[in-house]
Amino acid sequence: MPVSDSIGPGPFCGMLFSDMGADVIRIDRKGANAGRMSRLEIDRRGRRSVSLDLKRPESVAACLALCEAADVVFEGYRPGVMERLGLGPDEMLKRNPRIVYGRMTGWGQYGPYAHRAGHDINYIAITGALDAIGTKDRPVPPLSLVGDYAGGAMMLAVGLLSAVLHARSTGQGQVVDAAISDGSSYLMAAFYGLRAQGRWQEQRAANLIDGGAPFYDTYRCADGRFIAIGAIEPQFYSLLLEKIGLAGKLPNEQMDRAAWPAIKATFAEIFATKTRDQWVEIMGDADTCFAPVLTADEATQDPHNVARSTFVEIDGVRQPAPAPRFSRTPAAIQASGTSAAVRSLLQDWGLPQQYVDQLADTAKV
């Protein structure tokens, strides 16, 4: 599975496939990523990398030869770049009719924005997602999880796997156009449904699960740390009130939106009286839908994460373990991100000796 040089969702998708057992080769533009692929670049783990000068005919020929032996190739350039290099989907499918060609972009292969520059925040801005996330005063960028990784990498992975299944049953490959703007819009399906039902206000921090409800929000504790509450169901809410000393003291119904601001203020006052870890002790294992808000370092030491080996250490670097879990074919990190000797890599993939000889002297080892 060759994958071209890209950032964000492309490397993450490559990591995902590698962790699931695929042999993934990352093809970098020569000189573009000097010093990259180190053990610290976690999203580049588990696959070998070679740097090729794609302006040289022999490098282009080697890429095409690699793709003749591959099930999947995906890239993250703007529309038209791969065609100009002689590595577009038409050329690939001509040589390998079964290949699945993934195209990971922000705006997609066509449309008025297709050739614009952009990043995660721009792509999710036109979907309704960014407008719905944040405080009452302003939208807040949700890291790059919504766009690059959920709307981009994960949608690309699902598309590629679906197309591979089709290719194996029909012998026909195809192009997968994975636009982050499309994928992020798709993730908003349930919220568009709630809006159509009149159950979602177009106002941030005013709805059930956007921080508007007092029982679904974060609260600052006495030590400045935070806890997270998600007690939506009435039985969990009742138990929460009992644990924080408010049982029978709130006359309003849980879903009375008019009462939410006052209840939230009361919750804030109560949670501010104790430290985060004191609240952890008080809540115990009760079904209050409670959790402490942990830092990244704290997350690696959380007892649940430790029990499930959610984080692992590879070459001295703590990092997330593969997910999900498989009963028969468990996922595993194949290695840290490493460059590969061009000759051995091309030989492993069964390329003709002419390509091996030509590229061994010109490609970065």
pLDDT in tens, 44-87: 898 888 878 888 888 898 888 889 889 999 999 999 999 999 99
Between CA 60 and CA 16 the distance in angstroms is: 26
- pLDDT reported for residue 335: 84
Q: Do the beta carbons of residue 6 and residue 104 sit within 8 Å? A: yes
Catalytic residue (one of 19, 28, 71, 148): 148
Q: Which domains does the chain have, with CATH numbers?
A: 2-187+335-362 (3.40.50.10540), 216-299 (3.30.1540.10)
Quickly state the pLDDT bin for 142 (edges 50, 70, 90): very high
Task: Dig out the tokens for 27 from the structure.
Answer: 């093809």
How many percent of the chain have pLDDT more than 90? 76
Q: What is the pLDDT of residue 283?
A: 98
User: Which of 176-180, 224-228, 267-271, 334-338 comes out lowest in average pLDDT?
Assistant: 334-338
Mean pLDDT of 13-38: 80
Long-range contacts: 55-62, Cβ < 8 Å, 24+? Answer: 56/362, 58/355, 58/358, 58/359, 58/362, 59/30, 59/359, 59/362, 59/363, 60/85, 60/86, 60/87, 61/355, 62/346, 62/351, 62/355, 62/358, 62/359
Confirm whether 148 is a catalytic residue: yes
| Burial class for 130, CB neighbours closer than 10 Å (0-12, 13-18, 19+) | buried
The token pair that represents 117 in the structure block: 């520059």
Decide: 333 and 322 in contact? Cβ < 8 Å. Answer: yes
CA dist 173 → 41, 164, 216, 294 (Å):
32, 7, 45, 44
Residue 8 has a pLDDT of 87
- What average pLDDT does range 162-190 have in this prediction? 98
User: Looking at residues 261-266, what average pLDDT do you find?
Assistant: 96
Catalytic residue among 23, 53, 119, 166: 119
Tokens of residue 101, six digits = 């060609």
Q: Which pLDDT score, from 0 to 100, does residue 259 have?
A: 95
Local confidence band at 364 (pLDDT 50, 70, 90 cut-offs): very low
Q: Catalytic: 119?
A: yes
> Does residue 91 contact residue 71 with C-beta atoms inside 8 Å?
no
Is 50 exceeded by the pLDDT of residue 3? yes
More confident residue, 361 or 275: 275
pLDDT at 359: 65
Of the listed ranges 38-42, 187-191, 201-205, 232-236, the least confidently predicted one is 38-42
pLDDT of residue 31: 64
What pLDDT was estimated at residue 23? 92
Sheet with strand 290-292: strands edge to edge: 216-220, 226-230, 290-292
Give yes or no for residue 34 having a pLDDT over 70: no
Where does the pLDDT of residue 35 fall: very low under 50, low under 70, confident under 90, or very high at 90 and above?
Answer: very low
State how far the Cα of 252 lies from the Cα of 86, in Å rounded to an integer.
Answer: 67
Residues 6+ apart with CB under 8 A from 359: 52, 58, 59, 62, 342, 343, 346
pLDDT of residue 36 exceeding 70, the answer is no
Kindly state the average pLDDT of the residues 179-195. 98
Convert the pLDDT of each residue in 80-107 to its tens digit. 999 999 999 999 999 999 999 999 999 9
Identify the weakest region by mean pLDDT among 127-131, 222-226, 240-244, 332-336: 332-336
pLDDT at 91: 96
Per-residue tokens: 171 = 């012998």
Band (pLDDT 50/70/90 cuts) for residue 27 is: confident
Share of the chain above pLDDT 70, in %: 92
Query: Can you give the pLDDT at residue 365?
Result: 38
Burial class (CB in 10 A: 0-12, 13-18, 19+), 224: exposed
Banded pLDDT at 336 (limits 50, 70, 90): confident
Q: Is 198 left (phi over 0), alpha (psi -120 to 50) or beta?
A: left
